[in-house]
Amino acid sequence: MRSKSLAYLGVALLGLSLAAGCVRKTAPVSKAPASGDAPASAVAFLDKKFAVLPFAIPATDADLLAGYLPVARHVPEVAPVHLDAALEQDLAGAKQQFVPAKMAASCAKSAPRGDEPGRLGTLRSYVNIGKCAGADYVVVPMVIDWRERDGSEIGATKPASVDFVLYLIDVRTGAMVRNFHFDETQQSLVSNILDAKKFVSRNGRWLSAMELAQEGLKKGIAELGL
């Protein structure tokens, strides 16, 4: 009986050894940062300079750095203006350093686009904008879809819906290091009982598209570590 126990122990130790060997040989997997990673990233970004571009409305899939545009979408021309104002307000109390908004906007207009086709050229253009502005990172915001609610805050026949992305580009490496995608259509408590906490936090109100977007911006800023 003792010899069998030793044999089983030996097999178990061998299995653990092999498993450990597999773990050591496996390369670490890169993953998108969760909201809990934001405080650490905020510290890592200290003494770095950021250029925040104005919100843009992508015309083609090549304007995006990830994903694809929906077949049916609608964005009023005034939406980016309101989003720029909201984002600027949210970043006013940030600890990071930002280049003046006018400089970032000017560089966005004058910096050359990359020679590479498609999204590579789009990414290169953001890197060139960052170099023009003297920034370490570039924040690229885009609004993809914007649907205003039909009705009032106490009764809507059609809820507000907002879809936007925030990209964070490393100017030195030319890589997209982080991205945040907000795509939400407000739902009633009856439609989604699992979102009861969110429903209560909104006081049972039907939000406007701008109010919905403001919630998303705050989440995005936190996840990007700004």
**Strand 97-98, strand 49-52: pairing:** parallel
Proportion of the chain in helix, strand, coil states, percent, rounded to 5: 45, 20, 35
127: left (phi > 0), else alpha (psi -120 to 50), else beta? alpha
Coil/strand/helix, residue 69? coil
The answer to whether 90 and 221 have CB atoms below 8 angstroms apart is yes
Q: b/e map of 149-182 (b: 16 or more CB within 10 Å)? A: beeeeeebeebbbbbbbbbbbbbeeeebebbbeb
Give me the CATH topology for the region 36-224.
Rossmann fold (3.40.50)
61: left (phi > 0), else alpha (psi -120 to 50), else beta? alpha
Q: Which two tokens stand for residue 44?
A: 């890592």
Give the span between the Cα atoms of 21 and 36, in whole angstroms: 30
Tens of pLDDT along the chain (226 residues)?
Answer: 444 443 433 433 333 333 333 333 333 333 333 434 444 456 677 789 999 999 999 999 999 998 899 988 999 999 999 999 999 999 998 888 999 999 999 999 998 877 888 899 999 999 999 999 999 999 999 999 999 988 776 766 788 999 999 999 999 999 999 999 999 987 765 554 556 566 666 666 788 999 999 999 999 999 998 8
Residue 60, class by beta-carbon neighbours within 10 Å (0-12 exposed, 13-18 middle, 19+ buried)?
exposed
Task: Let me know how long the chain is.
Answer: 226
What's the predicted TM-score (pTM) here? 0.76
